[in-house]
Amino acid sequence: MPRQLSDEEVEAYLDSRPAWAVLSTIDKDGFPHSVPLGYFRLGRDIVMGVRDGTRKVANVERNPNVSVLLEDGSSMADIRGVMLQGHARIVRGSEEALQLAQEGARARGVPESEWPTAPRPGSAYIRTTPVRTLSWDYADPTSDQA
């Protein structure tokens, strides 16, 4: 059995990987729709920048229940990951969207003098608040890998 990560380890894992995560939404026919997206963490929330009007945006507006998956490793001996299940909402064209654009720039290491001063036209954000967190770490030498 893999070891579960502590809350602190989950946060460190999320912050150490400010690149890609897989967002899964439910489409209009009830099937999962999974796409890789850039993300950053803001408090407990996971924020992903997207183009407004896409399928994932429509899916979140119809059903806010989503999952966000991050995983790394190259074999069963070193796989670890985190899946966050939660409620998402769309943020667009508002003061909050500007705040998220600036937080995203900060998370990417952009100098403050170059942060956006207005939300990008046609953009939106999917902001997910986790309800449940699942994690696994097969690389832990104390885990039972039989």
Q: Give tens-digit pLDDT for 5-48.
A: 988 999 988 888 667 899 999 999 999 999 999 999 999 999 99
Q: Do residues 89 and 19 touch, judged by C-beta distance below 8 A?
A: no
Phi-psi group of 65: left, alpha or beta (phi > 0 → left; psi -120 to 50 → alpha; rest → beta): beta
Question: pLDDT (tens digit, 9 = 90+) per residue, 92-132?
Answer: 978 999 999 999 999 888 999 999 999 888 999 999 999 99
What's the CA gap between 36 and 69, in Å, rounded?
9
Q: Which of 19, 66, 63 is nearest to 41 (CA)?
A: 19
